[in-house]
Amino acid sequence: MTDRPLRNTRRTFLASSALGALSAVATGATAAATDETVEPTTTVECSTVSVDDWGSAVSARAVFDDGSVVTVGEGRPETFGAPGRVIESVTFADLDGNEWTVANDAPDCDAGGKSVTFTDSRATVRPGQFLEMDTYPGELISQVDLHFVDGTSQEKVHLDGPESPDGITGVYRGTGEHAGTVVEAIEIFHDLGYVSHYVRNPAAEQYLLGKATPQERLVEVMGATEGAVDYEFTVEGAVRAVTLSDRRGASPGGNDAISTSGDTTTVTGTTGNPGYSDVYAVDGAITDFTQTGGDGDYLLREAEWRIVEDTAPATDLLAVVATEEGEVPYELTVDGTVRPIGNAGPKRSTSGNDEVTDNGDGTVTVSGFTGNTGYGDTYAVTGDVTDFTRTGGSAAFRIDYNGRERTPEELVDQH
């Protein structure tokens, strides 16, 4: 078992995935092994692990279907988990290397409301997240880190920081150079039982691997540990090599190759070691990715950067999001093209009350309507936004442009 949660189960292989799953209830009374090795007695109930008897186990790791992870280092709490998130399995371990895995036999369960919620660039932590304790941890015994989709992190609370009566519950967002950056996950550690909560942001998925709508975007294969990573992936569309720096770029003609057959492109390559990566501009859906060799771990992600050194037009992601109850009708004009995104999640997808009109002069006009806290419309924009106008309503709103908040004036003036 690792000391630190894996960054993303979609991009990293879980070490525990090869363990044989037990039933949803493991009974310690009938599971006694030789000497003093005893299986824990535990029940998995949707988002919660209830432990009647830890047996020989001294630590546990619960993995959730959205890639979140809760790890218990010691302390043996009676319950732990993540409200609102569905457990896939929990693995217990003892000091002798024995492990027991219990699967969730009801993965379609209703997990209820979440105690940790997100917008694109903000995480809100509520006291109910900490099922392992009767209260919630304060800043003096805790550490909080934000992890962003561009691969960077920012420490928000440190273990020896000032004590706060509000503990570590509250709102977290990137500041300084991280201001407005899309949050991939929040990681909370406290030393009461050495418990770590790694909670993933579902809104980050559209900025990572898995977009169903084909559009040109940067895909990066990055080494996560020492060692080589040989890989191959297939795309329904075109692929071209991109160089971001001397450490981040593909090498066609070297150890990376791009081949095309009809409308399908196959990429093979080799990378490895932290900080080194191969980068490609992909115009289509990735249908398969395989590590074909090497003993290194890797991250496969979509970069957030716009390609500025290439002559091909870049596609940007623009979302109009209400931040309070009420109506937000709006209109925007683009010197280029606009495509409504209908798969940006239940709160961010465009709908029938949003319309894109071709003006016949190379520009398009979008007439949209959204409203109520957290709801919005998302568009793929190729070209400059030349005008944004609120056409009615009084509810506050914000504009997210490639994961960064913009005012209407900033959106128009940035081009």
**CA nearest neighbour of 201 among 149, 155, 158:** 149
- Confidence band for 303, pLDDT divided at 50, 70 and 90: low
- Confidence band for 150, pLDDT divided at 50, 70 and 90: confident
pLDDT at 392 over 90: yes
Q: In what order do the strands lie in the sheet with 316-322?
A: 355-358, 364-371, 327-340, 376-390, 316-322, 397-401, 404-406
- On whether the CB atoms of residues 92 and 60 are closer than 8 A, the answer is yes
Q: Looking at residue 210, what is its pLDDT?
A: 41
What CA–CA distance (Å, rounded) separates 286 from 235? 4
- Confidence band for 35, pLDDT divided at 50, 70 and 90: low
What CA–CA distance (Å, rounded) separates 340 from 1? 43
- The residue among 113 and 300 whose pLDDT is bigger is 113
Q: Looking at residue 309, what is its pLDDT?
A: 33
pTM listed for this prediction? 0.48
DSSP state of 346: T
User: CA separation (Å) from 75 to 52, 57, 63, 81, 283?
Assistant: 14, 11, 19, 15, 50
Q: Looking at residue 64, what is its pLDDT?
A: 95
Task: Give the least confident one: 19-28, 33-42, 108-117, 311-320.
Answer: 19-28
Give residues with Cβ within 8 angstroms of 71, minimum separation 6.
1, 3, 5, 59, 60, 61, 62, 195, 196, 198
Task: Please provide the average confidence, as pLDDT, over all residues in the chain.
Answer: 80
pLDDT tens sequence across 237-289: 889 888 777 788 888 878 889 999 998 999 999 998 877 889 888 888 888 89
How many Cβ atoms sit within 10 Å of the Cβ of residue 273? 16
Q: Looking at residue 197, what is its pLDDT?
A: 94
pLDDT tens sequence across 207-232: 654 443 445 678 888 887 778 899 99
Task: Give the least confident one: 144-148, 177-181, 229-233, 311-315.
Answer: 311-315
| Domain limits, the chain | 15-103, 116-204, 210-302, 316-413
- The residue among 12 and 170 whose pLDDT is bigger is 170
- The residue among 293 and 162 whose pLDDT is bigger is 293
Report, at the CATH architecture level, how domain 15-103 is classified. Sandwich (2.60)
- On whether the CB atoms of residues 117 and 202 are closer than 8 A, the answer is no
pLDDT at 16 over 80: no
- The residue among 383 and 31 whose pLDDT is bigger is 383
- Confidence band for 8, pLDDT divided at 50, 70 and 90: very low
pLDDT at 32 over 50: no
Task: Give the least confident one: 58-72, 104-118, 184-198, 340-354.
Answer: 340-354
Query: Residues 39-52: what's their mean pLDDT?
Result: 94
Q: Looking at residue 217, what is its pLDDT?
A: 76
Q: Looking at residue 63, what is its pLDDT?
A: 95
Reduced 3-state DSSP string for 179-242:
CCCCEEEEEEEECCCCEEEEEECHHHHHHCCCCCCCCEEEEEEEECCCCEEEEEEEEEEEEEEE
- Confidence band for 388, pLDDT divided at 50, 70 and 90: very high
What CA–CA distance (Å, rounded) separates 328 from 392? 7
Q: Choose the most confident range, by mean pLDDT, from 83-92, 295-304, 312-321, 338-347.
A: 83-92
